[in-house]
Amino acid sequence: MSVYVHIPFCRSKCHYCGFYSLASSTRKEAFLPALEREMELRTAYLGKTVPETLYLGGGTPSFLSIPELERVVSALHKHYAFPVGTERTLEANPEDLTPDRLGAWKALGFNRLSIGIQTFDDAVLKRIGRSHSAAQAIAGLEQVAAAGYENVSVDLILGLPGSASAHVWADLELLDRFPVSHLSVYMLGIDPGSVFEKQQAAGKLSLPAEEETVALFLHVSERLKERGFEHYEISNFARNQAYSRHNTRYWQQKPYLGLGPSAHSYDGASRQWNSSRLNTYIDSLNKGILIFEREELTCFDRYNEYVMTSLRTMWGAEWDVFKNTPGDIAPNQEERLAFYIENDWAKKEAGRFILTEAGWLVSDRIFSELFVVGDAASGGGKKE
């Protein structure tokens, strides 16, 4: 089992961001007791399983003061038994990477940092609404190295407005100076509800051409591989097998518990998601009531999720799942798989069907072609 905690506060709202977070911390005081109450009420969610990973995301968890973070961690320990060796990730923004915070996070047990750098170009950082500068990012990474963190992930985004390939090469050169073990490299998408969505609708957003960004992504991937990184998931690269254990468990459909507004949970049979309204979340938990929606997963949902999540990774999916789908819900799909292999979009290795990098770039098409539709009561179902 994995535990995710969503901290819904940010200093300001980045223009590309569609995650649930508020550019204000006025409700922090009220949020923390509600979160503690949720932890208490959810102790039974996954029975007796032991958490193997902990991830504090958001929002900006590093925006919490040290005493606030201590409070969250102490409540987590009160309600869940994290064994020695648990991967404990904290998402952090560069402006929070100060020696005292880094030392306190380590003392609280965080052994992995995920840092939202996005780019080291000040003009682009400003254009996308980030609250930090390139100098802060560099100084922050120096402090991370000095504090002795060994498992450090950095986020970069390609295809940002005002960005060109030269910026990205400069970003990679700079990152070479630091002991970064993991990189998440995203191609900009326009998230619903984001500032960019509004700017695009108003004709005020000018982005690099999509083909250029795709070509750049492939070049970045080559460059990272030359530097010893494995491209182990569509958007993720790791050195010395420093894979994100937490996210890998999502891709392997392992159960997880999500705490905090908008957080999702999964127990293998159903998925549930908390209210995305902070005030509703706080008011409800103050009355001792969990506030979430729930969906039972059908055999079709589970099959489709297996296809979509496992094929995102370099470990791929079991070939036989496409030959004899569980419950016989789809016809044999081997002909389709052979077509992908002929196009160099996939390969078959050790009984597994694995997408190549070229396949990942057309993965939306592949997923939709492999998905099955139907309802749980229809037995054999139908394939579309």
Binding site for ligand SF4 (CB under 6 A): 10, 13-14, 17, 19, 21, 58-60, 93, 116
102 or 128, CB closer to ligand SF4? 128
Q: Is the C-alpha dihedral spanning 346, 348, 352, 357 positive or negative?
A: negative
In whole angstroms, the minimum distance from the beta carbon of 304 to ligand SF4 comes to 28
Comparing C-alpha atoms, which of 207, 338, 170 is closest to residue 347? Answer: 338
Tokens of 12: 């300001």
In whole angstroms, the minimum distance from the beta carbon of 255 to ligand SF4 comes to 25
Tokens of 130: 């980030």
Amino acid at 103: G
Count CB atoms within 10 A of the CB of residue 183: 23
Comparing C-alpha atoms, which of 19, 92, 102, 86 is closest to residue 54? Answer: 86
Exposure on the CB side of residue 37, measured as CA atoms within 13 A = 17
DSSP sequence for 330-355? S---HHHHHHHHHTTSEEEETTEEEE
Phi, psi (rounded to 5 degrees) for 141: -65, -35
Amino acid at 378: S
Q: Is the C-alpha dihedral spanning 143, 147, 148, 151 positive or negative?
A: negative
Query: What is the 8-class DSSP label of residue 61?
Result: G
In whole angstroms, the minimum distance from the beta carbon of 69 to ligand SF4 comes to 16
23 or 123, CB closer to ligand SF4? 23
14 or 329, CB closer to ligand SF4? 14
110 or 306, CB closer to ligand SF4? 110
24 or 200, CB closer to ligand SF4? 24
In whole angstroms, the minimum distance from the beta carbon of 130 to ligand SF4 comes to 7
93 or 213, CB closer to ligand SF4? 93
10 or 117, CB closer to ligand SF4? 10
> How many angstroms separate the CA atoms of 147 and 134, rounded?
20
Tokens of 134: 């390139």
Q: Is the C-alpha dihedral spanning 119, 124, 129, 132 positive or negative?
A: positive
In whole angstroms, the minimum distance from the beta carbon of 14 to ligand SF4 comes to 3
163 or 333, CB closer to ligand SF4? 163
DSSP sequence for 190-237? --TTSHHHHHHHTT------HHHHHHHHHHHHHHHHHTTEEEEETTEE
Segments of 96-210 assigned E as strands: 112-118, 152-158, 182-187
Comparing C-alpha atoms, which of 295, 337, 273, 254 is closest to residue 52? Answer: 254
In whole angstroms, the minimum distance from the beta carbon of 327 to ligand SF4 comes to 39
In whole angstroms, the minimum distance from the beta carbon of 315 to ligand SF4 comes to 28
In whole angstroms, the minimum distance from the beta carbon of 196 to ligand SF4 comes to 12
In whole angstroms, the minimum distance from the beta carbon of 178 to ligand SF4 comes to 20
Structure-token match 């049979």, residue found:
269
Segments of 17-82 assigned E as strands: 53-58
60 or 163, CB closer to ligand SF4? 60
In whole angstroms, the minimum distance from the beta carbon of 13 to ligand SF4 comes to 5
58 or 159, CB closer to ligand SF4? 58
Structure-token match 């009220």, residue found:
30
